[in-house]
Amino acid sequence: MTTNKTHTLFLLWVLLISLTGFGLYMTWHKGLFQWIILTDNTRICVVIVLAFVVGSALAGWRSIYLSRQTQYFEQIRGGFSDFKLGQSICHDYLTHPLAHPSEGQLMAEVMAERARGTHQVGWFVTGLMIKLGLLGTVVGFIMMLSSLEGLEQLDISDIKTLMQQMTQGMGVAMNTTLVGLIGSILLGVQFLMLDRHADKLIAATVDYAHRNVKAS
């Protein structure tokens, strides 16, 4: 972690969101996005999209937070130590008596919780999007099967209506699954980046504490 890389995480998040926004614009421009939303009368796709927006907003806020914590850590390594309590998780760990290697790993666990504890919400939203997609699949197949009721009483004139109902059910099943999978993948990538950056920050802080103890 060098000083000129303290905002790398946030910039990577901005890049990923920009690419996602460009992909969304292209699907909107081609009319695919509108078609998916309008043909889904269960509105599950809308819920999945809203979950993705909320999860991405949380990931953006966390990327800013971790980038700032990385910047604080670089200042600590540069000799600056005038931080308020709770401002820098690295400084709170390094200045706590339990941070000494011989005193155990309690404060390291506290620092780790502060660094990535909120990410559990993001992973929950990621899993929720997959489950909503699977729910849409089940609902879509139920719609298809329900359209087959009274099949023995159908005549030729009812075949067209039956096919439309079956196509609508299949569309709901496929569209919700597609939106849920794509959204969960994109959101999972964001929180994977956050977890990896948090782990690197924690490891660098603990290593810095051990080196200072050995030097003293």
How is residue 149 annotated by DSSP? Answer: T
The model carries a pTM of: 0.85
In tens, the pLDDT along 68-111 reads 999 999 999 888 888 888 899 988 888 876 655 545 477 788 88
User: Cβ contacts of residue 172 below 8 Å, gap of 6+?
Assistant: 39, 40, 41, 42, 44, 136, 139, 140, 143
44: nearest Cα among 150, 128, 163: 128
Residue 161 reports pLDDT greater than 80: no
Query: What residue type is assigned to position 74 of the chain?
Result: E
pLDDT value for 1: 43
pLDDT value for 37: 87
Q: What's the mean pLDDT in 13-26?
A: 94
58: nearest Cα among 131, 130, 128: 128
Structure tokens, 132: 């909503």
Query: What residue type is assigned to position 92 of the chain?
Result: D
In tens, the pLDDT along 112-136 reads 898 988 899 999 999 999 999 999 9
User: Cβ contacts of residue 118 below 8 Å, gap of 6+?
Assistant: 58, 62
Residue 54 reports pLDDT greater than 90: yes
Query: What residue type is assigned to position 128 of the chain?
Result: L
| Domain segments of the chain as ranges | 3-15+40-215
